[in-house]
Amino acid sequence: MPKFYKKDSVQAEQDPLIKEFVDLVADTVGDGFLSFSDTQSRPFMKFWPRLTISKYLKDSNEFNCVFFGTMLVSTFGKDLTKTTIKDRDWGQSESFFRQFHEDAFTKRKPVFITSSLHFVNKNYQLMHQVKMPIKFGPDVDGTAGIIIFEPTPMADPGT
């Protein structure tokens, strides 16, 4: 499968598990923002294996991963907890994923993407994600989201 990155992905937004996660966040916080403590509550346990949480480091202008679910560790072949986007050595993918975090962080709303998994040697072909702002304290200071993997190639990445 060729490399591609799709912002504002309808496929990601319509994925049943992503929809369930987004709905749970809305039910939990209403018009507010998800907090780190919210993600540790029982309703969110279902999503922990696919959950990724990053804290924005103002001094270095980086996003540092503070939680990387077990399914993600298995798929990526390493635990990205305690790494920044820059630390991951993803080449051309780095700028896209950095922008993905920045969009959710600065726009203060959920952002959806679909991308190829050309940078991991697995059977999965696609990854759908949602990222949204999260609070560790009183203010938004990070991102949280889940990742869904699709084992078959997508016919048309433009949809």
- Residues 52, 49: Cα–Cα separation, whole Å: 9
Q: What is the pTM of this model?
A: 0.86
Contact between residue 145 and residue 130 where contact means Cβ atoms under 8 Å apart? yes
**Res 158: pLDDT:** 45
Better-predicted residue by pLDDT, 129 or 122:
129
- Residues 17, 12: Cα–Cα separation, whole Å: 9
Better-predicted residue by pLDDT, 110 or 154:
110
**pLDDT category of residue 154 using cuts at 50, 70 and 90:** very low
**Over the stretch 66-100, which tens digit does the pLDDT of each residue have?**
999 999 998 888 898 998 877 766 555 667 777 88
Reply yes or no on whether the pLDDT at 123 is more than 70.
no
**Res 1: pLDDT:** 44
Assign 74 to helix, strand or coil. Answer: helix
**Res 89: pLDDT:** 64
**Res 52: pLDDT:** 97
**pLDDT category of residue 156 using cuts at 50, 70 and 90:** very low
**Res 8: pLDDT:** 87
For residues 35-53, average pLDDT: 97
What is the architecture of the domain spanning 5-41+61-150? 2-Layer Sandwich (3.30)
**Res 91: pLDDT:** 57
Cα-based distances in Å from 159 to 6, 8, 115: 9, 10, 12
For residues 44-60, average pLDDT: 95
